[in-house]
Structures are given as structure tokens and as C-alpha cells.
């Protein structure tokens, strides 16, 4: 049937059927989590009495914007947090993380990353790269990190030694541009307990990007003080056009809001323009869209496992984020894969992605993203820095069937260039 629309090699189609058959138990597990999270979100909407009046956007200062205030309450309820700050003017997940870090840290405070080196775009925010640019380091914030052990796991004993005196203990849930395992909610709880045993007053902050609604619980339910994410990833459900969120302790949310707007005004200002309805609707759709992204990911992992590539995680592992990493081994395969993802996308399918010097990264990056919202990685996308081990990081997929086609187009692109044999 696919060859009526897409020119997919018959041997590849047969292999894909075998790969998909192996995914059944994983798909069942994903659907069970999805049903739970859909019920959780629906209950939050009901409890917070969401009404059509909340979809109307405000202008100017945004005083008494009931939609903005109610959306914060719904997010807080869904994330099991005391409060939340959900705004369309967070330009990215990195921006939301930066606001949170600058919101709670002061000169002389110590920030410790417990999951090794943080994601590339945070390096300049912290001051690992660059000088005199207004980073945390420039403002006198001290930084340390606990490197992962040889198996890519968080070193709990080293965490206990390093967090003494820390104001913020920082955890990145997802793997980022690395091949280490993403952190389950259970594992995050273990890290939280380790921090609390040594430094009970430390603020535990989680980069929750790519992890929302993948499990039944969120990090706030195992002791995290703040969780942060992007609305053009999981919690925006492919409907939110921009934005991000910070959720957690009420006093910390207030400090973050002071950083986003200004001290004394915080959450009381900020117009919503015409963004309220897509943010509400995106959150409502998020569990279902995340499930489709996960199924797309599992299929890709199963298929490339069949093709003999090393994949992270395995297709049958229990998931805690939507990211899949496939170790392709060289730059040509990496570029061909991304070109195929672009061809199998609904937007700009005729465009060939090329590596470029993307702001915030220290290597050339190739990104395939034929998305309705620019850069929305809850939609099918693939990206990677052009450096060893030449792995591609794959995420998203609004619907499973179209996501699967994208994966097959990526594989076909490698076949067409003679980089793969079946």
C-alpha cells in the first residue's frame, strides 16, 4: 500500500513488518500509560473549571488574565506541583531553564550538575563556554559537575560527595546529545534521596524536556523542587506554537516569575495574545501525541536493530523520554538519514537539510524537521552534531502511521545512496 504513495524497497517493507511485529508488547505498554495520563489531564481540566472564557487572549500588560492564571493551575495540577509558570514568551526549553537558574541562584551560590556535562545550549548560560557574556559564572555562581560512571549511570556516591554546599542540584532527565541512558522517574527519586541525605535544603531542578507523559508520574512526585520544559516538545501536544513551563514549589516559581518579568510584578503581568487556546488544547492532546511519538521511536529502534545498528535504548526497554539514538557510524549515513526524514515530512519535504553552525552548539549540526511549528521536536525530527560517534537523535511523530513512513523514507535514503544493504 505504501508504494502507492512512496517508493519503498520491497525488501525493506518486509523487514519493517518483522520489526513492527516485535513492537507489540511495547506498544501495549505505551497505550496503557497514555490512557492513565489522558485521564489525569482530563481530571485537571475539570478540577480547574476550564471554560471558553479562558481561551480569550489579553493584550498590553495582561492584568487579570484568567486564562493565563487557570493554565498555570492546570499545569500545576497535572505535574503534581504547588504552582506553575506557563508562558508563550519562553522561546525554548533552554530559555525556561535559564530563567529558572537565574531566578533562584545568587552570587556565591553553587550549582552542581549531577548528570555530567549539561546539554550543549546550556554551556554558555552556565559559563562553561564563553566569557563576559552575562553567564551565571560572570555573576559569581560557582559550578561543578558529577561525571557519569563508565556505564553511563549517575554516580550516587560521588553525588553525595559533591552536593555539599550546593544551592542547586541539577539533573537532566533525557540523554541529550549523548548515548547514556535517560533517567526513569524511579532513578530520579533515588538521586533526590541521595541529595537530601547530604544537603536537605538544596533546590533540586530537573530538565524535564522530552520526558513529560512518557511515564505515569513526573519528577515533582519524587521530590524535585522545579521541573522545566518546552511547549514545542511533549506538553504542547504539537498544537502549542511556542512557549515553555516551570513547575514546582510556589516560592521558587515566584522567584522565576520575577526573573521572567520583573521583581514585584512576576506572574501578575504578561499578555497572552492569541496563544491561550493552543496551549490549553496542546496540553489536553499531549498524552496521546507523546504515545504516537514513542511508538514511532520504538519502531525505528526495532527496524535499525534488525539492520544491525547499535541503538539506544533497545526497542523493548521501558521508556522515560521520547528520544531514540541510532549509532550510524559515519557522516554520510547521518546526512542521508536526515535527508530521508525530511522527505517523509509533511512540511518542506522537498528541502535537503545541510549541516550548519547552529547558535548555542560547538559543532556543526544537521537538523531534519519538516514540522508545522519550526523546531517542534514533538513532531517527527532528527538531528545530530557532526562528530563522533555520528549517531542521529530521533524524536517525535504526531501520528504513528506517518511517523513510520518517515522512518522508512530515512532508511530508503540510505539504501538509495548505497550506504545500506538489505
Instruction: Give the range of the structural domain holding residue 269, as residue numbers without chain letter.
Output: 54-283
Residue 29: is its pLDDT beyond 70? Answer: yes
If asked whether residues 331 and 220 sit together in one domain, one would say: no
Decide if 46 is inside a domain: no
Per-residue pLDDT tens for 335-388?
999 999 999 999 999 999 998 887 767 778 999 999 999 999 999 999 988 888
If asked whether residues 304 and 411 sit together in one domain, one would say: yes
If asked whether residues 386 and 268 sit together in one domain, one would say: no
If asked whether residues 319 and 357 sit together in one domain, one would say: yes
Mean of the per-residue pLDDT values for the chain? 96
Among the residues of 50-184, which ranges form H helices?
66-78, 93-104, 123-126, 156-162
If asked whether residues 168 and 92 sit together in one domain, one would say: yes
Stretch 75-89: mean pLDDT: 98
Decide if 421 is inside a domain: no
Stretch 51-79: mean pLDDT: 97
If asked whether residues 375 and 292 sit together in one domain, one would say: yes
Residue 2: is its pLDDT beyond 90? Answer: no
Decide if 276 is inside a domain: yes
If asked whether residues 174 and 261 sit together in one domain, one would say: yes
Instruction: Point out the domain boundary residue: 283, 311, 330.
Output: 283
Decide if 49 is inside a domain: no
Instruction: Point out the domain boundary residue: 283, 312, 344.
Output: 283
Strand order in the sheet with 381-385: 310-312, 324-327, 391-395, 381-385, 365-368
Decide if 59 is inside a domain: yes
Instruction: Point out the domain boundary residue: 232, 250, 283.
Output: 283
Q: Are 45 and 284 in contact (CB under 8 A)?
A: yes
pLDDT level of residue 212 (50, 70, 90 thresholds): very high
What pLDDT, on the 0 to 100 scale, is given for residue 1?
A: 61
What pLDDT, on the 0 to 100 scale, is given for residue 221?
A: 98
Decide if 422 is inside a domain: no
pLDDT level of residue 245 (50, 70, 90 thresholds): very high
Strands 324-327 and 365-368: unpaired
Return the CATH number at 26.
Answer: 3.90.1150.60
Q: What end-to-end distance do the CA atoms of the chain give, in Å?
A: 20
Return the CATH number at 199.
Answer: 3.40.640.10
Strands 324-327 and 391-395: antiparallel
Q: Name the E strands within 114-233.
A: 142-145, 168-172, 203-207, 226-230
Per-residue pLDDT tens for 147-176?
999 888 999 999 999 999 999 999 999 988
What pLDDT, on the 0 to 100 scale, is given for residue 22?
A: 98
Number of domain units in the chain: 2
If asked whether residues 403 and 361 sit together in one domain, one would say: yes
pLDDT over 90 for what percent of the chain?
A: 91
Is the CA virtual torsion 91, 92, 93, 94 positive or negative?
Answer: negative
What pLDDT, on the 0 to 100 scale, is given for residue 360?
A: 67
If asked whether residues 63 and 112 sit together in one domain, one would say: yes
Q: Over 384-417, what HEC string results? A: EECCCCCEEEEECCCCHHHHHHHHHHHHHHHHHC
Residue 3: is its pLDDT beyond 90? Answer: no
Stretch 12-18: mean pLDDT: 97
If asked whether residues 93 and 188 sit together in one domain, one would say: yes
What pLDDT, on the 0 to 100 scale, is given for residue 130?
A: 85
Q: Are 100 and 240 in contact (CB under 8 A)?
A: no
Per-residue pLDDT tens for 271-316?
999 999 999 999 999 999 999 999 999 999 999 999 999 999 999 9
Distance between CA 156 and CA 188 in Å, rounded? Answer: 11
If asked whether residues 105 and 33 sit together in one domain, one would say: no
Stretch 117-146: mean pLDDT: 94
Closest listed residue to residue 410, CA positions, set 347, 359, 325, 334: 334
What pLDDT, on the 0 to 100 scale, is given for residue 151?
A: 87
If asked whether residues 276 and 352 sit together in one domain, one would say: no
Among the residue ranges 38-42, 277-281, 328-332, the one predicted with the least confidence is 328-332
Decide if 201 is inside a domain: yes
Decide if 47 is inside a domain: no
Stretch 243-247: mean pLDDT: 98
Amino acid at each position: 500500500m505504501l508504494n502507492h504513495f512512496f517508493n519503498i524497497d520491497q525488501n525493506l517493507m518486509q523487514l519493517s513488518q518483522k520489526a513492527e511485529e516485535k513492537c507489540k508488547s511495547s506498544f501495549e505498554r505505551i497505550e496503557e500509560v497514555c490512557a492513565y495520563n489522558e485521564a489525569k489531564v482530563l481530571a485537571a481540566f475539570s478540577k480547574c473549571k476550564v471554560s471558553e472564557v479562558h481561551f480569550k487572549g489579553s493584550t498590553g500588560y495582561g492584568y487579570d488574565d484568567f486564562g493565563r492564571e487557570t493554565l498555570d493551575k492546570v499545569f500545576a495540577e497535572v505535574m503534581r506541583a504547588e504552582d506553575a509558570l506557563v508562558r508563550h514568551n519562553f522561546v525554548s526549553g533552554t530559555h525556561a531553564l535559564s530563567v529558572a537558574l537565574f531566578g533562584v541562584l545568587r552570587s556565591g551560590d553553587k550549582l552542581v550538575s549531577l548528570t555530567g556535562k549539561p546539554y550543549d545550549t546550556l554551556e554558555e548560560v552556565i559559563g562553561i563556554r564563553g566569557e563576559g557574556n552575562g553567564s551565571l559564572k560572570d555573576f559569581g555562581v560557582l559550578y561543578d559537575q558529577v561525571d557519569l560512571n563508565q556505564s553511563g549511570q549517575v554516580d550516587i556516591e560521588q553525588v553525595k560527595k559533591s552536593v555539599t554546599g550546593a544551592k542547586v542540584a541539577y539533573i537532566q532527565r533525557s540523554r541529550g546529545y549523548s548515548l547514556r541512558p535517560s533517567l526513569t522517574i524511579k532513578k530520579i527519586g533515588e538521586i533526590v534521596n541521595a541529595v537530601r541525605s547530604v544537603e536537605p535544603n538544596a533546590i533540586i531542578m530537573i530538565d524535564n524536556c522530552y520526558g513529560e507523559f512518557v511515564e505515569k508520574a513526573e519528577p515533582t512526585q519524587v521530590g524535585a523542587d522545579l521541573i522545566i520544559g518546552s511547549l514545542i516538545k511533549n506538553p504542547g501536544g504539537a498544537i502549542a506554537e511556542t512557549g515553555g513551563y516551570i513547575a514546582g514549589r510556589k516560592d521558587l516559581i515566584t522567584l522565576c516569575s520575577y526573573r521572567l518579568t520583573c521583581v514585584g510584578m512576576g506572574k501578575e503581568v504578561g499578555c497572552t495574545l492569541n496563544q491561550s487556546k493552543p496551549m490549553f488544547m496542546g496540553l489536553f492532546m499531549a498524552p496521546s501525541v507523546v504515545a504516537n511519538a514513542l511508538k514511532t521511536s520504538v519502531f525505528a529502534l526495532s527496524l535499525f536493530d534488525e539492520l544491525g545498528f547499535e541503538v539506544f535504548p533497545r526497542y523493548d526497554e521501558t521508556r522515560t523520554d521520547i528520544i531514540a539514538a541510532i549509532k550510524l557510524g559515519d557522516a554520510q549515513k547521518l546526512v542521508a538519514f536526515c535527508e530521508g526524514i525530511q522527505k517523509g515530512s509533511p512540511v518542506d519535504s522537498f528541502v535537503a537539510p545541510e549541516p550548519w553552525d547552529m547558535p548555542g552548539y560547538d559543532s556543526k549540526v544537521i537538523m531534519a524537521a519538516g514540522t508545522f511549528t519550526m523546531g517542534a521536536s514533538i513532531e517527527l525530527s532528527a538531528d545530530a552534531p557532526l562528530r563522533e560517534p555520528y549517531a542521529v537523535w530521533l524524536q517525535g511523530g504526531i501520528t504513528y502511521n506517518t511517523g513510520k513512513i518517515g522512518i522508512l523514507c530515512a532508511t530508503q535514503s540510505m539504501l538509495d545512496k548505497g550506504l545500506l544493504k538489505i
